[in-house]
Amino acid sequence: MSKILLIGFGGFIGACLRYAISGIAHKHLGSNFPWGTLTVNLIGAFAIGFFWQLSTQFIDTTNLKLFVLVGMIGSLTTFSTYSLETLNLIKNSEFSLAAFNILASNILGILIVFIGILVSKYLTILCVR
Protein backbone atom coordinates (compact mmCIF):
# COMPACT_ATOMS: atom_id res chain seq x y z
CA MET A 1 0.00 0.00 0.00
CA SER A 2 1.22 3.48 -0.79
CA LYS A 3 2.88 5.30 2.09
CA ILE A 4 0.67 8.32 1.54
CA LEU A 5 -2.44 6.14 1.90
CA LEU A 6 -1.10 4.66 5.14
CA ILE A 7 -0.48 8.12 6.54
CA GLY A 8 -3.88 9.30 5.28
CA PHE A 9 -5.78 6.38 6.82
CA GLY A 10 -3.88 6.80 10.10
CA GLY A 11 -4.62 10.52 9.92
CA PHE A 12 -8.32 9.81 9.48
CA ILE A 13 -8.32 7.67 12.64
CA GLY A 14 -6.26 10.23 14.58
CA ALA A 15 -8.50 13.10 13.52
CA CYS A 16 -11.63 11.19 14.57
CA LEU A 17 -10.04 10.37 17.92
CA ARG A 18 -9.07 14.00 18.37
CA TYR A 19 -12.62 15.14 17.70
CA ALA A 20 -14.09 12.60 20.12
CA ILE A 21 -11.60 13.24 22.92
CA SER A 22 -11.86 17.02 22.56
CA GLY A 23 -15.64 16.80 22.70
CA ILE A 24 -15.56 14.71 25.86
CA ALA A 25 -13.10 17.09 27.54
CA HIS A 26 -15.14 20.12 26.49
CA LYS A 27 -18.33 18.52 27.83
CA HIS A 28 -16.83 17.60 31.20
CA LEU A 29 -14.35 20.42 31.80
CA GLY A 30 -16.04 23.42 30.23
CA SER A 31 -15.19 25.88 27.50
CA ASN A 32 -13.38 28.62 29.41
CA PHE A 33 -10.04 26.97 28.60
CA PRO A 34 -8.93 24.80 25.65
CA TRP A 35 -9.13 21.60 27.72
CA GLY A 36 -9.78 19.45 24.65
CA THR A 37 -6.54 20.47 22.96
CA LEU A 38 -4.57 20.11 26.17
CA THR A 39 -6.07 16.65 26.70
CA VAL A 40 -5.31 15.36 23.20
CA ASN A 41 -1.82 16.88 23.25
CA LEU A 42 -1.00 15.11 26.53
CA ILE A 43 -2.52 11.82 25.35
CA GLY A 44 -0.62 12.23 22.08
CA ALA A 45 2.61 12.97 23.93
CA PHE A 46 2.25 9.75 25.91
CA ALA A 47 1.28 7.78 22.81
CA ILE A 48 4.20 9.02 20.73
CA GLY A 49 6.66 8.24 23.54
CA PHE A 50 5.14 4.79 24.02
CA PHE A 51 5.01 3.80 20.35
CA TRP A 52 8.34 5.39 19.48
CA GLN A 53 9.98 3.28 22.19
CA LEU A 54 8.26 0.15 20.88
CA SER A 55 9.29 0.96 17.34
CA THR A 56 12.95 1.27 18.29
CA GLN A 57 12.93 -2.22 19.81
CA PHE A 58 10.33 -4.31 17.99
CA ILE A 59 8.68 -2.66 15.00
CA ASP A 60 10.93 -2.91 12.01
CA THR A 61 8.44 -1.89 9.33
CA THR A 62 8.48 1.64 8.04
CA ASN A 63 4.84 1.30 6.96
CA LEU A 64 3.59 0.61 10.48
CA LYS A 65 5.64 3.51 11.85
CA LEU A 66 4.19 5.84 9.20
CA PHE A 67 0.65 4.67 9.93
CA VAL A 68 0.89 5.03 13.73
CA LEU A 69 3.44 7.77 14.38
CA VAL A 70 2.92 10.09 11.41
CA GLY A 71 -0.70 9.36 10.55
CA MET A 72 -2.57 8.56 13.76
CA ILE A 73 -0.58 10.39 16.40
CA GLY A 74 0.42 13.24 14.08
CA SER A 75 -3.24 13.86 13.35
CA LEU A 76 -4.33 13.40 16.95
CA THR A 77 -2.06 16.17 18.25
CA THR A 78 -2.08 19.51 16.52
CA PHE A 79 0.31 22.15 17.65
CA SER A 80 -1.31 24.65 15.33
CA THR A 81 -4.59 24.47 17.22
CA TYR A 82 -2.73 24.88 20.49
CA SER A 83 -1.02 27.97 19.12
CA LEU A 84 -4.23 29.51 17.84
CA GLU A 85 -6.10 28.90 21.08
CA THR A 86 -3.25 30.34 23.12
CA LEU A 87 -3.20 33.41 20.89
CA ASN A 88 -6.96 33.78 21.31
CA LEU A 89 -6.57 33.64 25.09
CA ILE A 90 -3.98 36.41 24.86
CA LYS A 91 -6.25 38.45 22.55
CA ASN A 92 -9.04 38.08 25.12
CA SER A 93 -6.68 39.30 27.86
CA GLU A 94 -6.73 35.85 29.53
CA PHE A 95 -3.00 36.08 30.19
CA SER A 96 -2.90 33.68 33.12
CA LEU A 97 -4.85 31.03 31.16
CA ALA A 98 -2.55 31.54 28.16
CA ALA A 99 0.53 31.13 30.36
CA PHE A 100 -0.98 28.03 31.97
CA ASN A 101 -1.71 26.54 28.54
CA ILE A 102 1.85 27.17 27.35
CA LEU A 103 3.46 25.74 30.50
CA ALA A 104 1.10 22.77 30.89
CA SER A 105 1.24 21.75 27.22
CA ASN A 106 5.01 21.99 26.94
CA ILE A 107 6.31 20.90 30.33
CA LEU A 108 3.71 18.20 30.95
CA GLY A 109 3.95 17.09 27.31
CA ILE A 110 7.69 16.47 27.59
CA LEU A 111 7.25 14.77 30.96
CA ILE A 112 4.50 12.53 29.62
CA VAL A 113 6.58 11.52 26.56
CA PHE A 114 9.19 10.36 29.06
CA ILE A 115 6.56 8.50 31.11
CA GLY A 116 5.27 6.86 27.91
CA ILE A 117 8.79 5.62 27.18
CA LEU A 118 9.16 4.26 30.71
CA VAL A 119 5.78 2.50 30.64
CA SER A 120 6.61 0.99 27.25
CA LYS A 121 9.99 -0.27 28.53
CA TYR A 122 8.33 -1.73 31.65
CA LEU A 123 5.59 -3.49 29.68
CA THR A 124 8.06 -4.92 27.17
CA ILE A 125 10.14 -6.29 30.04
CA LEU A 126 7.01 -7.93 31.49
CA CYS A 127 6.00 -9.37 28.11
CA VAL A 128 9.47 -10.75 27.33
CA ARG A 129 9.60 -12.71 30.58
| pLDDT tens string 112-121 | 999 999 999 9
| 114, 45 contact by CB (below 8 A) | no
For residue range 67-97, list pLDDT tens digits in order: 998 999 999 987 888 898 999 999 999 999 9
Query: In the prediction, which pLDDT does 114 show?
Result: 97
3-state helix, strand, coil in the chain (%, to 5): 85, 0, 15
For residue range 12-27, list pLDDT tens digits in order: 999 999 999 999 999 9
For residue range 42-72, list pLDDT tens digits in order: 999 999 999 888 888 887 788 988 999 899 9
DSSP state of 31: S
In sequence order, what are the residues at sequence separation of 6 or more whose Cβ sits closer than 8 angstroms to the Cβ of residue 24?
36
In sequence order, what are the residues at sequence separation of 6 or more whose Cβ sits closer than 8 angstroms to the Cβ of residue 96?
none
Give whole-number Cα distances, 126 to 58, 69, 74, in Å: 14, 23, 28
DSSP state of 12: H
On average, the pLDDT of the chain sits at: 92
In Å, the largest CA–CA distance within the chain is: 55
